[in-house]
Amino acid sequence: MILITGGAGYIGSVTGELLRKRGESVVILDNLYRGHRDAVPAEVPFYQGDIGNRDLLSRITAEHSIEACIHFAALAYVGESVSDPARYFQNNVEQGITLLDELLKAGVRRLVFSSTCATYGEPRQVPISEDHPQNPTSPYGWTKLMMERIMESYDLAYGLGFVALRYFNAAGATQERGELHEPETHLLPNVLRAAQGHIPAVSVFGDDYPTPDGTPIRDYIHVADLGAAHILALDHLRKGGESQQINLGNGHGYSVMEVIETARQITQSPIPVNIEPRRAGDPSRLIADATKAREVLGWKPAYPDLASIIRSDWEWRSRRTQSTNAEGR
Ligand X SMILES: NC(=O)c1ccc[n+]([C@@H]2O[C@H](COP(=O)([O-])OP(=O)(O)OC[C@H]3O[C@@H](n4cnc5c(N)ncnc54)[C@H](O)[C@@H]3O)[C@@H](O)[C@H]2O)c1
Q: Using the rule CB under 6 A, is 30 a contact of ligand X?
A: yes
Q: How far apart are CA 170 and CA 72, in angstroms?
A: 13
Long-range CB pairs of 186-189, under 8 A, 24+ apart, other chains included: 187/218, 187/256, 187/259, 188/220, 188/259, 188/263, 188/309, 188/310, 188/313, 189/313, 189/317
Q: Which is nearer to ligand X, 77 or 261 (CB)?
A: 77
Stretch that binds ligand X, among 33-41, 128-136, 198-206, 291-299 (CB under 6 A): 33-41
User: Residue 165 CB, nearest distance to ligand X (Å)?
Assistant: 8
- 17 near 38, Cβ under 8 Å? no
Stretch that binds ligand X, among 24-32, 193-201, 257-265, 318-326 (CB under 6 A): 24-32
Q: Which is nearer to ligand X, 141 or 200 (CB)?
A: 141
Q: Is 140 a catalytic residue?
A: yes
Contact with ligand X (CB under 6 A): which of 51, 128, 228, 231? Answer: 51
User: Residue 210 CB, nearest distance to ligand X (Å)?
Assistant: 23
| Catalytic-labelled residue, pool 88, 140, 154, 303 | 140
Q: Which is nearer to ligand X, 258 or 269 (CB)?
A: 258
Q: Using the rule CB under 6 A, is 73 a contact of ligand X?
A: yes
Contact with ligand X (CB under 6 A): which of 33, 59, 94, 272? Answer: 33
The DSSP secondary-structure symbol of 128 reads B
Stretch that binds ligand X, among 8-16, 121-129, 291-299, 308-316 (CB under 6 A): 8-16
Applying the rule CB under 6 A, the residues between 158 and 197 that interact with ligand X are 167, 169-170, 181
Q: Using the rule CB under 6 A, is 74 a contact of ligand X?
A: yes
Q: How far apart are CA 236 and CA 296, in angstroms?
A: 8
Q: Using the rule CB under 6 A, is 139 a contact of ligand X?
A: no
User: Residue 39 CB, nearest distance to ligand X (Å)?
Assistant: 8
Classify the C-alpha dihedral 50-244-172-191 as positive or negative.
positive
Strands 244-248 and 161-167, by their bridges, are: parallel
User: Residue 135 CB, nearest distance to ligand X (Å)?
Assistant: 17
Q: How far apart are CA 229 and CA 6, in angstroms?
A: 17
Q: Using the rule CB under 6 A, is 285 a contact of ligand X?
A: no
Number of residues that bind ligand X (CB under 6 A): 29
> Residues in the chain, how many?
329
User: In 256-296, at which residue ranges do the beta strands (DSSP E only) sit?
Assistant: 273-276, 285-286
The DSSP secondary-structure symbol of 211 reads S
User: Residue 6 CB, nearest distance to ligand X (Å)?
Assistant: 3
Q: Which is nearer to ligand X, 106 or 180 (CB)?
A: 180
Q: Using the rule CB under 6 A, is 72 a contact of ligand X?
A: yes
Stretch that binds ligand X, among 3-11, 59-67, 120-128, 291-299 (CB under 6 A): 3-11
* Number of alpha helices (DSSP H) and beta strands (DSSP E) in the chain: 11, 14
Q: How far apart are CA 187 and CA 180, in angstroms?
A: 12
CA atoms within 13 A on the CB side of 1: 15
Q: How far apart are CA 279 and CA 140, in angstroms?
A: 15
Q: Which is nearer to ligand X, 15 or 267 (CB)?
A: 15
- 167 near 221, Cβ under 8 Å? yes
Q: How far apart are CA 52 and CA 92, in angstroms?
A: 9
Residues that are catalytic: 140
Task: Catalog residues that contact ligand X under the rule CB under 6 A.
Answer: 5-6, 8-12, 30-35, 50-52, 72-76, 91, 95, 114, 116, 167, 169-170, 181
